[in-house]
Amino acid sequence: SPPKTSKVSQAVRFFSPNSVVTDWYKGELSNALAQIYLKEVSFVMFYAPWDAESQYVRGEFEKAAN
């Protein structure tokens, strides 16, 4: 029988569009790195949107960004 697969869901923002956090949710790593090199200090968060720990840390990351 053929292997069981599921369709990949469309990428969605993890942080609010109104957030001061820039969210490269579509995996634009080269764009993210280019912006990081322009700043004196950057905080980078790698996350999995379905992960409970990532969801918890999102709020803490927002607090730190503000």
pLDDT tens-digit series, residues 4-59: 888 888 899 999 999 999 999 998 999 999 999 999 999 999 999 999 999 999 99
Domain assignment present for 19: no
Domain assignment present for 57: yes
Domain assignment present for 46: yes
2, two tokens? 């053929």
Domain assignment present for 1: no
Domain assignment present for 61: yes
Distances (CA, A) of 24 to 1, 15, 34, 58: 38, 10, 12, 14
Domain assignment present for 54: yes
The parent domain of residue 47 ranges over 29-65
Closest of 59, 31, 63 to residue 14, by C-alpha: 59
pLDDT given at position 49:
92
Count of domains forming the chain: 1
The answer to whether the pTM exceeds 0.85 is: no
Domain assignment present for 8: no
pLDDT given at position 3:
86
